[in-house]
Structure 1
Amino acid sequence: MSTSPENRPRLRRDQRRVQLLDAALEAFSQGGYHQTLMDDIADRAGVSKPVLYQHFDSKLDLYLGIARGVADEVLTTLTAALASSDNNPERIRACVATFFDFVDRPGSGFPLLFASDMGQEPAVAALLEETRRACGEALAAEVAEATDVPREEAVLVGMALAGVAQTAAMHWYRSPGDLSKERATDVVVALAWRGLDGLPVEGATGAHQDAR
């Protein structure tokens, strides 16, 4: 239901932008990008459509604003997970859990970005690739530091880890059943760690490497 102009709170420009992005995220998540009209978003935000166009040039501009926010949050959270512990298995779990927590959190926008047919839109495709690459690079930095794997191979491993975690989380999200988020996370962590466990540890040989 729209709010009448006389009752509408006056917000700073940055506050209004956040409000409009939140309204758009709700509208897109509920009705899908293609079925949602700018009128729907304006009404949900309690503003006139001209006010909406003062902040965003188009519906695609709105979508990209949401997508950039989601991408930034994913990378920030993943980076924090990597820094959360000096214990490698714990860090791997924290990283995998990041993706499952995003898809499981209502209003995160993660499915809207990573499971939308908007991926065919060039600007969205570029943002998705940039985000995947950034996540892979963040993981690669840790792999390169902890192992004797060359940088180029570390990037490959990092991209693979990020891809596995994201794909598994989206599959779990799209296929509701009896598998809990915790158990799904455990399974992916076991897969990831067993793969990483085969990499040569920095400065370790023989029994020392086996003891890690």
Structure 2
Amino acid sequence: MNGQASLPGSPGTPTGRPRMTRSARRAQLLEAARDVFGHRGYHAAAMDEIAERAGVSKPVLYQHFPGKLDLYRALVQGAADDMVRTVRAAIRSTTDNKARVQATIQAYFDVVSSRDGAMRLVFETDTRATPEIAGLVDRATSDCIDAVTEAVTTDAGLEPERARLLAVGLVGLSTTAARYWLDAGLQPPREDAITLMSQLAWRGIGGFPRQEG
């Protein structure tokens, strides 16, 4: 015979395992990258280590992400989108404004304490000096402010400018408190921290009663 017969599962499918789909491979690479970036930070992380962590060759990694910044951008974009969804879901979870304030603050503590650490990238990214990455984070923050503004405008009957300023205050309080809590070693306990910040926020926002109709 001319040429050699193909080995079982070849090419690229050792031990006969089916070839991973592109979307599944991308998810695998992102998970490995998240681990490496989480431990090393952006600047110290290396594509070699990310490829090794994912169990692929560097050419396979570069097929999906041409460079380290492209890979980090994808991670931050996904984390930012998840953060916005989490905050919006918290606002929609109840029509009771006091409970809604607590749910919104809890959403930020959920973000920074997520087990896989994905959404922490929005708060911990060390490439904020890169305009594109900074823009992703800023847009996510603005989207969260928009969601709170809409709820405040509807429920308190305030004009948009006043409602947005209140929303900026609530998002800023939540973001700063959650980041500090993370840096302080998750102390005080999560539920205590959420209750403290919710009480602080509600004593201010509660001064704007819900307008029926």
Q: Is the 8 Å Cα contact of residues 187 and 193 (structure 2) preserved in structure 1?
A: no
Give the distance between the partners of 1:167 and 1:10, measured in 2 at CA.
44
1:103 aligned partner: 112
Structure 1 unmatched ranges of 5 or more? 205-212
Instruction: Provide, for residues 140-175 of structure 1, a one-character-per-residue CA deviation record: whole Å limited to 9, x for no partner.
Output: 000000112111111121122111101100100001
Give the distance between the partners of 1:70 and 1:117, measured in 2 at CA.
15
Q: Find 1:188's aligned residue among 193, 197, 200.
A: 197
Q: Is the 8 Å Cα contact of residues 149 and 200 (structure 1) preserved in structure 2?
A: no
Tell me the amino acid that sits aligned with residue 141 of structure 2. R
Q: Find 2:57's aligned residue among 36, 42, 48.
A: 48
1:133 aligned partner: 142
Give the distance between the partners of 2:93 and 2:212, measured in 1 at CA.
23
1:35 aligned partner: 44
SS of 1:70's equivalent?
helix
Structure having the larger proportion of residues in helix: 1
Instruction: Tell me which moved more, 147-156 or 52-61.
Output: 147-156
Tell me the amino acid that sits aligned with residue 130 of structure 2. E
Q: Number of residues paired by the alignment?
A: 201
Tell me the amino acid that sits aligned with residue 6 of structure 1. P
Instruction: Provide, for residues 73-101 of structure 1, a one-character-per-residue CA deviation record: whole Å limited to 9, x for no partner.
Output: 11111111111111111111111111111
Percent identity of equivalent pairs = 38
Tell me the amino acid that sits aligned with residue 59 of structure 2. P
Residues 11 and 171 of structure 1: CA distance in aligned 2, closer, same or farther (over 3 Å): same
Give the distance between the partners of 2:143 and 2:186, measured in 1 at CA.
31
Q: Find 1:168's aligned residue among 134, 158, 177.
A: 177
Q: Find 2:93's aligned residue among 73, 84, 87.
A: 84
Q: Is the 8 Å Cα contact of residues 119 and 125 (structure 1) preserved in structure 2?
A: yes
Q: CA deviation at 1:9?
A: 5.6
Q: Is the 8 Å Cα contact of residues 98 and 206 (structure 2) preserved in structure 1?
A: no
Tell me the amino acid that sits aligned with residue 119 of structure 2. F
Give the distance between the partners of 2:113 and 2:212, measured in 1 at CA.
39
Q: Is the 8 Å Cα contact of residues 82 and 119 (structure 2) preserved in structure 1?
A: no
SS of 1:199's equivalent?
coil
Give the distance between the partners of 1:194 and 1:179, measured in 2 at CA.
21
**Which has more radius of gyration?**
2
Q: Find 1:66's aligned residue among 75, 78, 99.
A: 75
Tell me the amino acid that sits aligned with residue 114 of structure 1. F
Give the distance between the partners of 2:162 and 2:147, measured in 1 at CA.
14
Q: CA deviation at 1:199?
A: 2.1
1:209 aligned partner: none
Q: Normalised by the size of structure 1, how large is the TM-score? A: 0.89
Instruction: Provide, for residues 155-201 of structure 1, a one-character-per-residue CA deviation record: whole Å limited to 9, x for no partner.
Output: 12112211110110010000126511111101110111111112254
Q: Is the 8 Å Cα contact of residues 38 and 49 (structure 1) preserved in structure 2?
A: yes
1:93 aligned partner: 102
Q: CA deviation at 1:106?
A: 2.2
